[in-house]
Amino acid sequence: MSYKINKDITYKKGKDGIVIYIQGGIFLLNSTASLIFSEILKNREKKDIVKKITSMYNITQKKAEEDFDKFIKELKKKKIIVEE
């Protein structure tokens, strides 16, 4: 499954991560969330993003998948991403 950024979303890469402007406020992403968001922008698949997270942060695949799924759920809830 792949994801796409909602075309109505505006975002900016800052020195501390990515800032997403959503209706009603902003959503500031930490380094891991910024990595996931950036990889989604590049049309990367979940398995490739999880692999990158495990190698960059030296965590298990299970933990990386849990973090990925939790973040994706939040992005869907805020209508920042859509499934393709």
In angstroms, rounded to a whole number, what is the distance separating the alpha carbons of residues 21 and 10?
Answer: 5
* pLDDT greater than 90 at residue 57: yes
Band (51; pLDDT cuts 50, 70, 90): very high
What is the structure's pLDDT at 14?
Answer: 86
Q: Determine phi and psi for 73, rounding to 5 degrees.
A: -60, -40
**Which residue bears the tokens 């997270």?**
53
Read off the pLDDT of residues 29-43 as tens digits, 9 standing for 90 and up: 999 999 999 999 999
Contact 82, 4 (CB under 8 A): yes
Q: Is the pLDDT of residue 84 over 80?
A: no
Domain boundaries, the chain: 3-83
Whole-angstrom distance, CA of residue 53 vs CA of residue 60: 9
pLDDT band with cut points at 50, 70 and 90 for residue 5:
very high
Backbone angles phi, psi at 60, to 5 degrees: -70, 160
What CATH fold (topology level) applies to the domain 3-83? Arc Repressor Mutant, subunit A (1.10.10)
